[in-house]
């Protein structure tokens, strides 16, 4: 189904645009190779890509893209090539090369809305609906991912601010962590029972030193003082 008016072909005197309307691949290729601008427009602001897509000439769309045609180009009504397209293979080509399915023209209509108004076949409608649904799901996933990233960044920023406001606390935590690591390595190297025996010997030595200095045996009441 064509969405270029019948008299459009007589309204343009631009050979490349006429070739896109007629579906003349070989002539289009010769013109492009000779230096014709792939983004040249007609009186309504439509490029060759608009006209070829409207006719369903996907091979010419591919050719124009190869020679640098702007897939995002819009006519004076804000329509992309996808707004004028009503053919499955052409839609698939345009979308696979980065043309957004949910872009609106100046009247706020998407390609799906215009396709329904024109009464295109059901396969095209189903394809456009499926592509729009995928676009919405992708947007929601992207938004959720951005929110998670922002929340993580805010949390890290809050922790960093807390550390800056409490440098003594951060220093104390670092010393404690270092002591804990050193003690664990000491116990592993010497062995648990040897460490326990060493603690017991140190405790006995401490009691002996205390008794020698004070003459009083710790933890024992009513004992005579040692006379030096």
Low-confidence ranges of the chain (pLDDT < 50): 1-11, 139-141, 143-144, 226-228
pLDDT score, position 47: 96
Q: Domains in the chain: how many in total?
A: 2
Among 33, 62, 32, smallest CA distance to 49 is for: 62
pLDDT of residue 46: 96
Under 8 Å between Cβ of 5 and 37: no
Length, in residues, of the chain = 228
120 and 37 assigned to the same domain: yes
- 172 inside domain: no
CATH code at position 69? 1.25.40.20
The whole-model pTM stands at 0.57
Range of the structural domain that residue 189 is part of: 182-218
CA angle centred on 106, ends 101 and 110, rounded to 5°: 25
First to last CA, the chain: 121
- Report the candidate in 43, 103, 44 with the shortest Cα–Cα distance to residue 71: 103
**Cα–Cα distance measured from residue 226 to residue 214, given in angstroms and rounded to the nearest whole number:** 8
Look at residue 133 in the predicted model and tell me its pLDDT: 87
| Per-residue pLDDT reduced to its tens digit, 7-46 | 444 446 799 999 999 999 999 999 999 999 999 999 999 9
Domain boundary among the residues 103, 118, 134 is at 134
Q: Under 8 Å CB-to-CB from 156, ≥6 apart: which residues?
A: none
Does residue 87 sit in the same domain as residue 196? no
**Residue at which a domain ends, from 134, 165, 193:** 134
Rounded to 5°, angle at Cα 134 from 132 and 140: 105
pLDDT value at residue 1: 40
Q: What pLDDT, on the 0 to 100 scale, is given for residue 5?
A: 41
One domain, residues 191 and 118: no
Residue 65: name the closest of 107, 44, 94 by CA.
Answer: 94
Residue 60 falls inside a structural domain: yes
Considering the domain architecture, whether residues 101 and 211 belong to the same structural domain is answered as no
How far apart CA 165 and CA 180 sit, in angstroms, is: 25
pLDDT of 153 reads 64
Within a 10 A sphere around the Cβ of 174, how many other Cβ atoms?
10
Please indicate, yes or no, if residue 73 is contained in any of the structural domains: yes
Contacts of 8 (CB under 8 A, 6+ apart): 21, 42, 51
Indicate the SS3 state at residue 41. Answer: strand
Under 8 Å between Cβ of 99 and 81: yes
Q: Is 47 helix (H, G, I), strand (E, B) or coil?
A: strand
* Of the residues 134, 151, 173, the one at which a domain ends: 134
Are 122 and 39 in a shared domain?
yes
CA-closest candidate to residue 52, choices 21, 28, 15 = 21
């Amino acid at each position: 189904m064509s969405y270029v008016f019948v008299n459009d072909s007589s309204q343009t005197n631009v050979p490349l645009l006429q070739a896109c309307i007629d579906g003349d691949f070989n002539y289009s290729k010769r013109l492009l190779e000779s230096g014709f601008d792939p983004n040249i427009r007609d009186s309504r602001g439509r490029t060759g890509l608009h006209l070829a897509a409207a006719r369903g000439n996907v091979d010419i769309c591919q050719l124009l893209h190869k020679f640098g045609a702007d897939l995002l180009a819009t006519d004076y009504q804000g329509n992309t090539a996808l707004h004028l397209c009503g053919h499955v293979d052409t839609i698939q080509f345009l979308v696979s090369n980065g043309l957004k399915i949910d872009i609106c023209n100046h009247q706020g209509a998407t390609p799906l809305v215009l396709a329904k108004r024109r009464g295109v076949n059901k396969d095209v409608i189903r394809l456009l609906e499926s592509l729009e649904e995928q676009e919405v799901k992708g947007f929601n996933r992207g938004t959720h991912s951005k929110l998670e990233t922002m929340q993580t960044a805010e949390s890290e920023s809050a922790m960093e601010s807390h550390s800056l406001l409490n440098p003594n606390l951060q220093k104390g935590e670092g010393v404690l962590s270092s002591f804990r690591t050193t003690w664990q390595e000491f116990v592993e190297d010497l062995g648990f029972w040897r460490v326990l025996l060493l603690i017991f010997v140190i405790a006995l030595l401490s009691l002996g030193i205390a008794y020698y200095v004070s003459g009083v045996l710790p933890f024992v009441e009513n004992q005579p003082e040692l006379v030096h």
